Chain A
C-alpha cells in the first residue's frame, strides 16, 4: 500500500458539502456525529473548513443546475487521492426529487463516488458503519 493511501486509513478529515436540492436532515445527522452521543472526533474524523485540507468529500443532497458546476469545481480542487462519499437518498439517485425540473442528474454521473450511504436520512450509526467499510476497502480487506 502506498504511503498516500495509508494516510487515508488514519484520521480522516472531512469536507461536508450540502450541494443543494436537499432538505437538511442529512446535514443535521452528520453534525450529530460530532456531538457527545456518537462523537467521531475521538477517531480523528474532523470537519474542516476547506476542501483543500480534506481527505473526504462528503456530499448530501441532489444536484441542481445552479450547484452542479460548483460541485464539479470542488471535486477538482480536492487533493488526490481522496474519497467521495454520498450520503442520503438524494445524493444517491436524487431521491424524491427525481421528477423535478431542476435536478439534472444523479451525483455519480458528474463525479466518481466511492461510498454510498442510503437512507432518508441515514442514521448516524449507518454513517459510521459506512466509514468503517471504506477504511477496510482502502486497506485492501474487501
Chain B
C-alpha cells in the first residue's frame, strides 16, 4: 500500500540563501509531486526603484541577489542605455565584461561546492570555496568590496581597472584554472559521482523548451541559448569564446556545463585584459528622455531581463525585473518527480536556485504526524547513498 507523506522543505534553512518553501509529496521512496511556494523574500524592489533616480536604481537592483550582484545592474544599465541611446566607451564595456565573468566564476565555484556538500563530498565544498577566496580578493582590490561591487553606472563604470591590478588578477586566474582542472578531473573520472549524478533529474530538450528554462539548466538539456552570443552586450562580440552545450539534461550534464563554462570565463577575462583599450570609462549622461528600454544580461543562472520606462523625469515610472531562477525553479516539478528522496536534494540544487539547501526539512505523515525527518536526515540520506556506492 502506498504510504504518502509530505516533506516540507524550508522556508528557512541555515546553509543557504533566500527562504523558499517546497512541499514534496512522497510515496515510499519516490517523489510523486512537488509544490513550490515562494514570496518569503518579497521586498518590493520594483516599487522601491520607482522612488529612486536613475543612478540610485543601480544600487538597489544590485541587492536583488548577492551572487548575481553584477548581472542585475548590468541588465539595468543596458536597459537605460537602450532607452536613452547612450554610447558607452569601449574600455567601460571591457571592464563590465571582466567583472561579469569574474562573477560567473565565483558563482559556479560556489555552486560546485554546495553540490559537493549535498552528495557527501565535503572536501569539494571546502576546496571550491577555498579557491573562491583569491577571486574575492581581486574583487576587493578592484571595487573595495568582496561581494557588492557597485561597478555599473548608467553610461559606463564607476571604477577603472588600473594597470597594477592586472598582474594579481592574472595570477588569481592561473590559480583558479588549476583548481578547475582538479575539479574537472574529480568529476569526470570519479565512478561514484557518475553513479550519483548520471540519469538523475533529467530534463529533456522538449521539457526544457516547454518550461522555458534558461542558462546552464537549459544548455545542459541541449537548448542552444545564451544571451551573450544571441544578443551581444558588453564586449562579448569582440571576443572569441564558445557556448557550452550538453545533450543529456541530467544533473551530471549541468555540472559539466558549469565546469566547462568556468574555462570559458577564464578565457574571456584573459582576452579582455589583453585587448582592453585605453580611454574614458564613462560617458556623460544628460537627461533620460521619455520612452522605454529593455536590457538583458546572462547571469550565472541564466538570462536576467530588465524593462525600464521613463516619462522624462529623473525617475523610472516602471521597472520590471525577470530573474532566471523564477523559470528554473518551476522546472523542478518535472525534474524531481519520480526521483527517490535521496536524489531530490541534488536535483533541487542542480538548477542553482538560490535556496538549494534542504535544511529544516521534516518528513511528516500527512494524517498522523508520525514520522519526522529533519534537514540533516535528508542530507544524511543523500550522503549515505554516496558512501554505499563508494564501498561497492
Residues of chain A having any CB pair with chain B under 8 Å = 14-29, 31-32, 35-37, 47-50, 61-62, 64, 66-67, 70, 74, 95-97, 99-103, 120-121, 123
A67 to B12, CA, bound (A): 10
Bound complex: CA of A44 vs CA of B126, how far in Å? Answer: 17
Question: Quick check: B18 and A24 within 8 Å, CB to CB?
Answer: yes
Q: B44–A36 contact, CB under 8 A?
A: no
- CB contacts under 8 Å to A, within B1-48, are 11-12, 14-19, 39-45, 47-48
B148 touches A70 (CB 8 A): no
Partner among A24, A26, A36 whose Cβ is within 8 Å of the Cβ of B130: A36
Residue of B15, B43, B146, B147 with most chain A CB atoms under a 10 A cut-off: B43
Q: Is the CB of B42 within 8 A of A35?
A: no
Contacts of A15 in B (CB 8 A): 14
Residue of A nearest to B130 (CB): A36
Over the window 363-378 of chain B, the binary record of Cβ atoms lying under 8 Å from chain A Cβ atoms (1 yes, 0 no) is 0000000000011100
| Contact of B47 with A101 in the complex, beta carbons under 8 Å | yes
Contact between chains at A23 and B12 (CB < 8 Å): no
B158 on the interface (CB 8 Å rule)?
A: no
Question: Interface residues of B toward A: which range?
Answer: 35 or more
Binding site for A on B (CB under 8 A): 11-12, 14-19, 39-45, 47-48, 51, 59-60, 62-67, 69, 110, 113, 125-126, 129-130, 133, 145-148, 354, 359-360, 374-376
* Cα distance A62–B146 in the bound complex, in angstroms: 21
A47 surroundings in chain B (CB, below 8 A): 14-15
* A28-B66, A100-B43 known; A18-B18 Cβ under 8 A: yes
Q: Is B42 a contact of A37 with CB atoms below 8 Å?
A: no
List, in ascending order, chain A residues with CB within 8 A of B146's CB.
29, 121, 123
Question: Given A35-B130, A49-B374, A23 and B64 touching (CB < 8 A)?
Answer: yes
B45: chain A residues at CB < 8 Å are: 97, 100
Known: A21-B41, A25-B66, A28-B110. A48 touches B60 (CB 8 A): no
Cβ B19 vs Cβ A18 within 8 A = yes
Complex: how many Å from CA A20 to CA B12?
Answer: 9
Chain A residue contacts of B66, Cβ below 8 A: 23-28, 121
Kindly list the 8 A-B residue pairs having the minimum CB-CB distance in the complex, ordered from nearest. A24-B17, A25-B66, A35-B129, A16-B14, A23-B66, A100-B44, A20-B40, A25-B147
Residue among A20, A67, A74 with most chain B CB within 10 A: A20
Smallest Cβ distance from B384 to chain A, in angstroms? Answer: 16
Are A31's CB and B43's CB within 8 A? Answer: no
